[in-house]
Structure 1
């Protein structure tokens, strides 16, 4: 399985919502990066619809970004956004499956890989490839989420407390088989690929509903995906509780909950090529 391989409008939508809801946390990570001199060329590996690309363009106004993804749909969406924002001349897109392809990406001073390495079948090959790709002294930033976000407190909903935990547990076997590198400690693997890890930081994410309607739409989309994938392993009672949360016209809609939030952690590793 390669980065962002679920090429669908639903996947693009949740990537856009992720970018919106987590924008402040992404900006804090880009500000923390120990880049030294300002990079002129950045590569965004597994860019999706551009969350990292646009955060990096804002953080480094003198840089251009090569955005790489296996999904043409995502790249098209990214190019549309770049045009609207007046950034088209600073963005180049490359369609590539990084498990199979080795496109010409130039000699960047910074490579960014957010929530993409764990999707790759052979991430250690990619780490080695990035080491060879980077300019001497260049930085590789790896950002990973601690699993899919939670949206409800542990004791919710009232009729089925712990519902989200059971949904995630139901998916554990699926993830172990199909995304075996999810949750990996990338520090030792970066060191094995020849990098010097200069920093590691974990950012706690807790974005409440007051942040705006994007939080509700993100939760609705996320729980919908959980239901789709976990349904075979859930009880009828849990499925019923999920359906009530997903019913936007019903009194139990997740959009009506005052305790709705996006809760997760993001860890970033900053690794230097000597």
Structure 2
């Protein structure tokens, strides 16, 4: 996610995304995430320090295919093995592959990466976007990735700093700073379940036998007037957060949040013209030593 974090089964692990809601709603947010952040994802694939173009790529925790299709576009001679725990996400990915005419270049594998790993072959590039922090035992997962990579293969880890922000700091008018309080409540809840969220993966990658070639943090700041998808993206993310932190908000904040999420209201977030997408992505590009 790429992505709007929730706590359902996703990204190839049983922990999946951070907030509980059904897979269809989650898939819609993943699709919006892919659309809104497409340029940033493409720029990351462009900057990967590969010595030669990969022939076989594995997308760990592929979701509905944001990374898969960015990688297929970037490397037109490659094929991708897309791994996820959600059958619905994988079906969406296959449908997209057919629509794009690249179905012969994509293989989907349903697997829980906190359980038994599938046979991934010896890929030249393994991509893990917003998936590693979901692992119950990330050190074990990193060693498995290291052993699966072809000699000299590249492992790219991409992590978001957290849920994206959308509203100005002084919004909404009746409860300024609402979004930060909502995110703070979500962060506290998620810290209880995912201690590796926001981790520095560099030392863990080195300990697993990787050589970190490049580490960079990319600021994301997208103006909302560029795409109506940003309004729907903001709505979906905040709805999912609300579903699990409502009991942690003050009555006043919960009421203000519900006004934003009411799509029939003139105060709906869909009707705001001041939205932006603000977050950070950190990328670790590593080679098998």
1:272 aligned partner: 287
Normalising to structure 2: TM-score of the pair?
A: 0.92
Matched, 1:29 2:44: yes
2:217 to 188, 199, 202: 202
2:232 aligned partner: 217
2:87 aligned partner: 72
Structure 2 counterparts to residues 11-160 of structure 1, below 5 A: 11-160=26-175
Structure 1 runs of 4+ with >6 Å offset: none
Cα contact 1:199–1:269 (8 A) shared by 2: yes
1:173 aligned partner: 188
Bigger shift: residues 207-216 or 123-132: 207-216
1:2 aligned partner: 15
Q: Which consecutive residues of structure 1, in runs of 5 or more, have no partner in the other structure? A: none
Normalising to structure 1: TM-score of the pair?
A: 0.97
CA distance in 1, matches of 2:107, 2:36: 25
Cα contact 1:40–1:62 (8 A) shared by 2: yes
CA distance in 2, matches of 1:211, 1:192: 42
CA distance in 1, matches of 2:53, 2:258: 49
Tell me by how many angstroms 1:104 deviates.
Answer: 0.6
Cα contact 2:225–2:275 (8 A) shared by 1: no
Structure 2 counterparts to residues 213-252 of structure 1, below 5 A: 213-252=228-267
CA distance in 1, matches of 2:84, 2:162: 21
Tell me by how many angstroms 1:172 deviates.
Answer: 2.6
CA distance in 1, matches of 2:72, 2:226: 23
CA distance in 2, matches of 1:72, 1:62: 26
CA distance in 2, matches of 1:4, 1:79: 21
Tell me by how many angstroms 1:4 deviates.
Answer: 4.5
Taking only aligned residues, the RMSD between alpha carbons, in angstroms, comes to 1.2
Bigger shift: residues 142-151 or 249-258: 249-258
Tell me by how many angstroms 1:215 deviates.
Answer: 0.5
Cα contact 2:185–2:249 (8 A) shared by 1: yes
